[in-house]
Structure 1
Amino acid sequence: MATKRAFVLPILTKEFLFMRTIFVLITLLVSFNSFARATDTSDSASCAVTGVAETNTGLSSILEIGTKLSDDKIKEVTLKLCSDVMVARREAHDIPKWESTMRSLLGYSGSKTDFPKYFNHFLNTYKNQIICPKYQVTTNIYPPQHLFKRILASGMNETYEEYFFNFENGDVDFNAYQIVDGKKETIIDWVDKWVASGRGDKDELLDVAYSLSDEFCAKRGSEL
């Protein structure tokens, strides 16, 4: 009996050591994966506007936008998007009802979750054509200006915080520009002028401009 026990114990010891080694390796692997996820910076915006993975529905809708729109159609959509900003301001909404506009005017048929990717693709594709027309509310006169500028000019600063600065929505190219006085003017240039004129909330506007420059690599017109 003693001989049998002496024979079995070494075998059990080897099995135990082997299983313990496997357990340690698995633990290390799980810990490494957890650390990798915790330190992953893939959700951060980058300078280059890159494509994003789409569901089938979202992808098909984006492909529809990929078919070049006419200038008249772009103006029609832009007019409504700019109007949505003013309505949101009046009704105290942080994010204008752009999804409804894109569904009605461009036939977006994707999900609510996929909409930001679709909308941002539209903004990037036609970035220099999305110019809001002149608009007057009582004594306030808004000159023709890019949608990005109209949002801030109307005091809708929260739209940047709640929509554009949400990295899950995908990147937006904020280097769209207008030709003003013969020069390229971007949203960064506009903020400089707006603040210098004493209009708007200086601190909030500068915070928005800093985030656009730091997180989205927005530039001044002279740098483009």
Structure 2
Amino acid sequence: MNKIILLFFSLFLFTFSQASSSETTSCNCELINFGYEYFDERITEIQNDIQIKDLTNTELEQITKRLCIKVIEAGITGFKSEEFKRLIHEALNTPNDLKESNKNMIIVAFLNKYKQKLICPKVTGKTDSRDMLIYKKAALEGIVDLYDEILLDNEAFPNIDFNGYEIVDGNKETVVDYIDYLIKTVLYDKDELELLRDDIIDYGGKRGVEL
């Protein structure tokens, strides 16, 4: 009886190993692709589950002002990503003992939730200045480090939504539209702006006509 059981067990192992070998040979690429899709879906699910503090209008105005000041100061002192993130966590009362990856998800949730409201005020005394979303302000001021260190770091800050917009001359204007405008009008850093715009598009950024 033991010999019969051993024989069946051996046949099972042989059949299983052959099937596994065949699947590994013919389906390796599909399995890898499935894995990436799975993790992308899980990241989205996790982000959807994150609940952040609802800021009052006054609180939102205060944090927006502080973040905009950091963007403007960066033109002189350089962009300090840790200070930028710290301001957001302070506004949201993020617990200090959270894992860094969870803190980053909170940053993403904040930026996406308030993407229409993070508006930097125009510069007093400049006739060509206007209120604009903070992503546009960073592009105008040449603060590419905000993008390199946070907004386009898709590994640490996945799924940032770049499609906040303002109505300008009756049309939706996104950060992609605004960079298009800068490329046509500014006399400097056009190559850098084109690279920045293309990276934003690669991560889901759209023009207003596409929304």
Counterpart in the other structure of 1:179: 167
Aligned partners of 1:194 and 1:200 also within 8 Å: no
C-alpha displacement of 1:85:
2.1
For the pair 1:81 / 2:67, whether they are aligned, the reply is yes
Cross-structure match for 2:186: 198
Identity of aligned residues (%): 24
Kindly tell me: are residues 32 and 135 of structure 1, through their superposed partners in 2, closer, same or farther at Cα, counting changes over 3 Å? farther
Q: How does 1:1-224 map to 2 (within 5 A)?
A: 17-28=11-22, 35-36=29-30, 38-40=32-34, 41-42=36-37, 51-53=44-46, 62-65=50-53, 67=54, 69-93=55-79, 95=81, 97-109=83-95, 110-135=98-123, 143-168=130-155, 169-220=157-208, 222-224=209-211
Equivalent residues of 1:88, 1:96 under 8 A apart? no
Tell me which amino acid in the other structure corresponds to 1:153: L
Q: Would you say the 8 A contact 1:44–1:167 is kept in 2?
A: no
Q: Tell me if the contact between 1:88 and 1:95 (Cα under 8 Å) persists in the aligned partners.
A: no
Report the CA distance between 1:107 and its aligned residue: 0.8
Partners of 1:130 and 1:81 lie apart in 2 by 9
Give the TM-score, by structure 2 length: 0.74
Q: 1:92, 1:76 → 2: CA distance? A: 22
Higher mean displacement: 90-99 or 104-113:
90-99
Instruction: Give 1:163 shift.
Output: 2.1
Which one has a larger percent helix, Structure 1 or Structure 2?
2
Deviation sequence 1:2-58 (CA, Å, 0-9, x none): xxxxxx9x9988765543323333445666786445334438989xxx84416xxx9
Greater relative contact order structure (CA < 8 Å, 6+ sep): 1
Change (3 A) 1:145 1:20: same
Q: Equivalents in 2 of 1:12, 1:180: separation in Å? A: 77
CA shift, 1:190, in A, is 0.9
Structure 1 portions without partners, runs of 5+: 1-7
Change (3 A) 1:84 1:36: farther
Structure 1 42/160 Cα, relative in aligned 2: closer, same or farther at 3 Å?
farther
Secondary structure of the structure 2 residue equivalent to 1:74: helix
What secondary structure, in the 3-state scheme, does the structure 2 residue paired with 1:127 have? coil
Q: Distance in 2 between matches of 1:111 and 1:143?
A: 38
Alpha-carbon shift at residue 79 of structure 1 (Å): 0.8
